[in-house]
Amino acid sequence: MSMLRIQRFVRSSLWLVPIGCLIAGAVLGVGTIALDRLTGYELVPPSLTGTPSDAQTILSSFATALVSLTTLVLTVTLVAVQLAMGQFSPRIVGALLADRWSQLAIGLFGASFLVVVLTLREIRGSDTGTVPGASMVLCYVLMFASIVVLILFVHHAGQGLRVAGLIDLVGDRSREFIVREHGELPVVTGGTGEIVADQPGNVVRVDRLALVAAARQADCVLELVPVMGDFVVGGAPLFRVHPSTRSTATADRDAAGRLRASDVTRHVLLGPERVHTEDLAYGFRKLVDIAVRSIAQPFNDPTTTVQALHRLHDLLRQIAARPLPGGEHRDEDGVIRLVERTVSWDGYVRLAFDEVRLAGASEPQVTRKMCAALADLKSVAPPDRQEPLDRQLRLLNAAVRRSHEDEEDVVAALMPDTEGIGSGADVTAAPRPTRIPNRAEATERQPAHG
């Protein structure tokens, strides 16, 4: 029982690693100083350490910077804990406090500060004194290591503050427990003619040319099961393998047998989070999240929602009249080798407006902007893409009528207005027509000279 308590203490302790680093720093500092004393401070040439005055200036600046770096690490850690408690879950704080990267950064900066202070005490004189060369070299090494750890810590902290980073932190540790207790074999759900994913993750990139080449070499057709951006669990089907020329089950098994799983799965990158540079739907997703969150309590900021709708409107307008990428990919002979599901025009329209409409039906700014956006999209979309826009207008009309009892409020809320409330026909004045004077009238109005 005592051993279990010790293991629990080691795993959950925040200060154990920093204390260990401080002890290691003290041992190294005292050891190098003793080595310098034994060699008469001549182990390292002065050309590398500089004069005593130079060494004091360098070490003093380094010591000041280390105090600031330690404060930075502690501040970032506390901010991460505060965000996690307020926005996600207070039960995740324990995992953040046990983060080894933060502990290592604090320990390294503290140990470096201790070594610098011990080294400063051994410097004698100003220009012709003695400098502990081995201790100075150790300080230079710790200085370089501190810079590297600072860069890595900033990257780690930035990744850890993301909601996906916090979810992965818990998910990865829980998955490690399952592997440790039950073995490394994943739960495979794929059947005959299927290639499964080794690890979980979102589909963030697909090398379609390489997959077409692999399918051509095996004389088969690959079907990518998840849509770009989908999360794939470990052991779930990633590809289905179909025969290219024969339709029997035996041909299907032969086609799958000619492909090694690693030759296919390595051309699909699974990441911890979707990226909008490769996934247009994820760009829509993030804008919709901003729009919906802005009109939720306690924020209640419909103007920000309108700003997000501006960009959603622009994105839909860019693709309204353009052909969307197809899901069939052929080799140089024109044979289909890779098929995948893609987001349709209807899917993009629903992704952009469905959730915003449901959340903002009672906000006139939001509904007026949506009416203006839909009216503009109908003016540029081809006939076969009109129906999804008409559907959104019908649903928006019904949602507004459920939210407002007065008919005048309904009419005002459904008035197309690009800025929500600011440029609609009911809040702007039409320009007065003015007559441009002819040349003779303009000449008569000119004042006479001299």
**What are 383's two structure tokens?**
């006939």
Given a cut of 90, is residue 358 above it in pLDDT? Answer: yes
pLDDT of residue 130: 84
Among the listed residues 117, 99, 112, the one whose alpha carbon sits nearest the alpha carbon of residue 21: 112
Mean pLDDT across the stretch 93-102? Answer: 68
Among the listed residues 412, 419, 403, 284, the one whose alpha carbon sits nearest the alpha carbon of residue 347: 284
Mean pLDDT across the stretch 53-80? Answer: 86
Strand partners, 202: 231, 271
Say whether 268 sits in a helix, a strand or coil: strand
Mean pLDDT across the stretch 324-346? Answer: 92
**pLDDT tier for residue 450 given thresholds of 50, 70 and 90:** very low
SS3 readout for 130-150: ECCHHHHHHHHHHHHHHHHHH
> Is 164 or 51 the better-scoring residue by pLDDT?
51
| Spans of all domains in the chain | 10-174, 194-271, 280-327+342-413
- State the amino acid at position 417 in one-letter form: D
pLDDT of residue 141: 94
For 70-91, the pLDDT digits (tens) are: 888 888 777 777 776 666 666 6
Say whether 80 sits in a helix, a strand or coil: helix
For 250-275, the pLDDT digits (tens) are: 555 555 556 788 889 999 999 888 88
**Is the alpha carbon torsion for 440, 446, 447, 448 positive or negative?**
negative
User: Among 87-96, 109-118, 169-178, which is the least confidently predicted range?
Assistant: 87-96
Mean pLDDT across the stretch 203-218? Answer: 92
pLDDT of residue 247: 47
Distance CA 270, CA 200 (A): 7
b vs e for 273-296, b when ≥16 Cβ sit within 10 Å of the residue's Cβ?
Answer: bbeeeebbbbbbbebbebbbebbe
Q: What is the mean pLDDT of the chain?
A: 84
Q: Is the distance from CB of 337 to CB of 273 less than 8 angstroms?
A: no
pLDDT of residue 436: 63
Strand partners, 338: 222, 329
For 361-414, the pLDDT digits (tens) are: 999 999 999 999 999 999 999 999 999 999 999 999 999 999 998 999 999 999
Distance CA 299, CA 392 (A): 26
Mean pLDDT across the stretch 106-133? Answer: 87
Among the listed residues 217, 287, 295, 312, the one whose alpha carbon sits nearest the alpha carbon of residue 259: 217
Among the listed residues 260, 267, 268, 266, the one whose alpha carbon sits nearest the alpha carbon of residue 241: 260
| Angle value at C-alpha 118, between 116 and 123, nearest 5 degrees | 90
pLDDT of residue 379: 95
Given a cut of 70, is residue 201 above it in pLDDT? Answer: yes
**CATH superfamily assigned to domain 194-271:** Pyrimidine nucleoside phosphorylase-like, C-terminal domain (3.90.1170.30)
pLDDT of residue 166: 65
Given a cut of 60, is residue 442 above it in pLDDT? Answer: no
Query: In which element (H, E) is residue 338 found?
Result: strand 336-340
Mean pLDDT across the stretch 222-239? Answer: 91
Q: Is the distance from CB of 396 to CB of 371 less than 8 angstroms?
A: yes
Overall residue count recorded for the chain in this entry: 450
Given a cut of 50, is residue 354 above it in pLDDT? Answer: yes
For 313-328, the pLDDT digits (tens) are: 999 999 999 999 888 9
For 297-317, the pLDDT digits (tens) are: 777 899 999 999 999 999 999
Pairing of strands 336-340, 328-330: antiparallel
